[in-house]
Amino acid sequence: MWQYGEYLRHFITHFNLYVPDLLFFGGSFTSRPERTESFQALCLMKLMETHGVNRLSLVGISYGGFVGYSLAAQFPEVIEKLVLCCAGVCLEEIDMKNGLFKVSSLEEASSILLPQTPDKLRELMRLSFVRPARVVPSWFLEDFIH
């Protein structure tokens, strides 16, 4: 909520807002093995149904955009409006080959965007910040990844 609170206040007088934590963000989790945006979309749809919401406008940012896109593809009759921000849902291998990203494959991009080692997290920080921190201890990065 700290990321969106300033913006949400402009909408609460006009809309019923739901700002769920996607699975594994915030305090949300599952013991089920599914980890796809399709599964996340299904869970989000069940949440909306539980709250009696059968028609919605959805804003998805970054990974939430992938989940929103999947929800719209699975349940088009439910979506009134869809806004996707910073989500490369139409990214294809040909885009990578044509130089959209300076990585050789989607797998390499995933290894950077979902770092599993301190070195990969440092690489993500170098690509994400204008002035990245120069010295960050590996133990801190390992804790952050965990």
pLDDT by residue for the chain (146 residues), tens only, comes to: 667 778 888 889 999 999 988 888 888 888 988 889 999 999 999 999 999 999 999 999 888 999 999 999 999 999 999 999 888 777 777 876 776 667 677 788 788 888 999 999 998 898 888 888 888 999 999 999 98
Cα–Cα distance list, 10 to 14, 80, 88 (Å): 8, 20, 27
DSSP letter, residue 57: E
Give the DSSP per-residue string, 77-118.
TTEEEEEEES--TT--HHHHHTTSSSSSSHHHHHHHHS--SH
Does the pTM exceed 0.85? no
CA pair distance 24, 120, nearest whole angstrom: 20
Identify the pLDDT of residue 70. 95
Tell me the two tokens of residue 18: 């739901």
Q: What is the pLDDT of residue 1?
A: 62
Contacts for 10-19: CB closer than 8 Å, 24+ residues apart: 15/57, 16/53, 18/47, 18/48, 18/51, 18/53
Q: What is the per-residue pLDDT for 106?
A: 75
Q: Which residues have CB under 8 Å from 10's CB, separation 6+?
A: none
